Structure 1
Amino acid sequence: MSDAENSGFISKVIGPKKRWRAYRARVKELPESYRTAVGSIERYLMHFVPTDADSNAAMFEDLADLFEQAAASGTPIREIVGEDPVEFVDAFAQNYSEGGYVPARARKQLADDLTHAEDEVA
């Protein structure tokens, strides 16, 4: 893949670089357990094929909004994602994309990571 093709692919996955950097700065300001949870969700979301860069950027921005509000109100991570974090993230992603195939390993990793993030709070 050439640099131009790679750059086009990356911007399709994360959206415009300026919006991605702003999103990452917001996530960096979250408390550690929320930051861990968002990172896990973010990795999982990278398996979905975005419909367009703006939709994908909006998805990550909305994810940051959700966790910023939860952190501000002290909402536990498990209350955000429910008992099945994979189901939560799949439903969340469907609002922005037609989705893609997510390997079982990625599903298990997401569930394990969010359990770990939840344990950080306790």
Structure 2
Amino acid sequence: MDTGSNEPKRRYRQYLEVVTGPLEDKKRWRQYKARVKQLPENYRTAVEALERYLMHFGPGDGADAASMFEDLADLFEQSAADGTPIREIFGEDPVEFVEAFVQNYAVGRYIRRERERFTSAIDRAAGEDTRKEDRSV
């Protein structure tokens, strides 16, 4: 049997990934979702709430998102195994927790830098430039 060239298969996969994104990222996402499904109900509920938040304010890049969600699954699997209470994981302010969590990833650094740039621009526009050094020199 002549197997022929794999070129049509590779080309099809390239076109498919242009439309849907990298297939490896989708595989990682499905694995993450399977891990979350295995968590005890209260941990799963917390992860799903955090996941919804991150879908709006987290990374848009597939590879960064996959890494972040895998780390999230690691955190909650370990917390469930140790019996760590949900409130102890998140602290009193869940938004503060998620903002600190996101800062560990490229998008978090980007968001922080853009927030600082935005705040600085508004300060300058209001005549309240508080920078320690003059960068225009």
Which residue of structure 2 lines up, in the alignment, with residue 78 of structure 1?
A: 87
Instruction: Give the counterpart of 2:20 among 1, 4, 7.
Output: 7
- Helix, strand or coil at the partner of 1:16: helix
Query: Structure 2 counterpart of 1:20, which letter?
Result: W
Given the two structures, how large is their TM-score scaled by the length of structure 2?
0.61
Question: In percent, how many aligned pairs have the same letter?
Answer: 67
Given the two structures, how large is their TM-score scaled by the length of structure 1?
0.67
The count of aligned residue pairs is: 93
Q: Which has the higher contact order (CA 8 A, sep 6+)?
A: 1
CA gap 1:79/1:49 in 2 versus in 1, 3 angstroms: closer
Larger radius of gyration: 2
Query: Structure 1 counterpart of 2:86, which letter?
Result: I
Listed one character per residue, the Cα deviations across residues 53-74 of structure 1 (whole Å, up to 9, x for unaligned) are 2111010000000000000000
Q: Pairwise CA RMSD of aligned residues?
A: 2.3
Query: Structure 2 counterpart of 1:82, which letter?
Result: G
Listed one character per residue, the Cα deviations across residues 81-118 of structure 1 (whole Å, up to 9, x for unaligned) are 00000010011112111349xxxxxxxxxxxxxxxxxx
Which residue of structure 2 lines up, in the alignment, with residue 41 of structure 1?
A: 50
Q: Is the 2:58–2:102 contact (alpha carbons within 8 Å) kept by the matching residues of 1?
A: no
Deviates more, 1:52-61 or 1:65-74: 52-61
Gaps of 5+ in 2: 1-15, 113-137
- Helix, strand or coil at the partner of 2:56: coil
- 1-side partners of 2:51 and 2:89: how far apart? 15
CA gap 1:4/1:16 in 2 versus in 1, 3 angstroms: closer
- 2-side partners of 1:63 and 1:4: how far apart? 25
CA gap 1:73/1:4 in 2 versus in 1, 3 angstroms: closer
Gaps of 5+ in 1: 101-122
